[in-house]
């Protein structure tokens, strides 16, 4: 990773939740950009060049799986992709893994502290 703050692109349609993620991650010294949908996420990815994408799968329009597939196909500089989602079925997790997600968290089964620990680990790998 280049010197400076690790950049995280949060793609989440829940406005309040997205802002909580932003505020908590900024406290942990991440630089954060929020996008409220898949389409907006793709655009923000090009503009912001994040080190990590933290995305919900359930998004209107381009869902998280399609987003991951499209971003992985772009090439360019390396980045980590993390799902933090309400989808917790085995086939969802498997599909995410097959598409090359770096971490998969189910919202109801994880604390945000654990997510932050993982994001820091992933940032260190870049």
The site for other proteins (CB under 8 A) is made up of 15-17, 19-20, 22-24, 27, 111-113
CB of 44 to other proteins, least distance (A): 16
Tell which residue, 78, 10, 15, 6, has the closest CA to residue 44. 10
Residue (71 or 84) nearer to other proteins, CB: 84
CB of 28 to other proteins, least distance (A): 10
CB of 98 to other proteins, least distance (A): 29
CB of 90 to other proteins, least distance (A): 21
Residue (19 or 66) nearer to other proteins, CB: 19
Residue (20 or 93) nearer to other proteins, CB: 20
Long-range contacts of 90-98 (CB under 8 A, 24+ apart): 92/57, 95/65, 96/57, 96/65, 96/68
Burial 27-59 (b: 16+ CB within 10 A, else e): ebebebbbbbbbebbbebbeebebbbbbbbbeb
Residue (16 or 124) nearer to other proteins, CB: 16
């Amino acid at each position: 990773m280049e010197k400076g703050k690790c950049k995280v692109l949060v793609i989440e349609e829940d406005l309040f939740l997205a802002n909580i993620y932003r505020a908590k991650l900024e406290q942990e010294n991440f630089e954060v950009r929020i996008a409220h949908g898949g389409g907006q996420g793709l655009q923000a990815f090009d503009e912001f060049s994040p080190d990590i994408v933290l995305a919900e799968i359930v998004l209107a329009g381009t869902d998280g799986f399609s987003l991951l597939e499209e971003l992985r196909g772009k090439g360019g500089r390396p980045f980590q992709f993390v799902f933090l989602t309400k989808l917790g079925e085995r086939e969802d997790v498997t599909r995410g893994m097959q598409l090359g997600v770096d971490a998969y968290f189910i919202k109801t089964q994880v604390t945000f502290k654990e997510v932050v620990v993982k994001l820091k680990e992933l940032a260190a790998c870049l």
